Amino acid sequence: MNHINKVMLLVCSALLAVPATMTAAGEVKSGYEFIKPATREMQDDDFENPGLLTVMRGQQLFNTTQPDASKSCAGCHGENGASLNAGAIARYPVYSEEAANIMTLQQRISRCRDGHTASKTLPIDHPDLVALETFVRSLAVGEAVNVQTDGPMAALLEAGEQLYRTRYGLIDMSCDQCHDIYPGQMIRGQKISQGQGNGFPAYRLGTGEITTLNQRIQQCLTSMRAEPFSAESEEIRLMGLYLMSRSNGLGIETPAVRY
């Protein structure tokens, strides 16, 4: 075991040894509440927030007809997404009757491109799709996350919660051990958040890049020394759905800045 892995195991062991600080029932807090003041200032400043470079790239892709396409996204939704509804954006992930399954915002953008612009199909989390998702989600900044939790979503949310509470990897930890029991505790100089999804796609200072919720789940699993779910997997969609549902009522912050 290398030095970094030893340190990680020691940190996690120490974390589990401190008294629990379970948040009060129903008290939902954005990751914004847990980041350092300097990071908040960076997020709030349109000239300092590094995630806005991805928003600008997504905006350009949205307005431009790609070489392999018949028209641009703006051809249907107006320049800069003028006809897109912020409330509708805030409901993603949604339940797709056609697919009888979860539809993420990135999947919706991908299907729109494939079906209406005849663009080349891109895999989930392709840089162009990430940029488009970041731009579109940023159009709903301030809108409250409003993921459906009843009807056909209920069983899917239950499955997502089970994944969230499952222990993974060599560290043998579950997501809820950090984000439900120990938010506010310090780990590697940063406060643990509640793991809310309202800021994603978010710019991560720790990696120096924009990060989707899918990618953040994968990064967390890697930190647990576990095999991460693939971007196309049912597991990552279920966990992403559950994480976003936990953020219901929080304002969208995309692109948030997180460590």
**Which residues are designated catalytic?**
220
* Whole-angstrom distance, CA of residue 226 vs CA of residue 59: 35
* Whole-angstrom distance, CA of residue 34 vs CA of residue 201: 17
Across 189-226, b (16+ Cβ under 10 Å) vs e yields ebbbbbbbbbbbbbbbbeeeebbbbbbbbbebbebbbb
Q: Are strands 209-211 and 94-96 parallel, antiparallel or unpaired?
A: unpaired
Helix, coil or strand: residue 251:
strand
| β partners of residue 204 | 209, 258
Q: Are 105 and 158 in contact (CB under 8 A)?
A: no
Task: For tokens 């120990």, name the residue.
Answer: 182
Helix, coil or strand: residue 134:
helix
Class of residue 98 by CB neighbours under 10 A (exposed 0-12, middle 13-18, buried 19+): exposed
* Whole-angstrom distance, CA of residue 227 vs CA of residue 20: 27
Class of residue 243 by CB neighbours under 10 A (exposed 0-12, middle 13-18, buried 19+): buried
Neighbours of 46 (CB within 10 A): 8
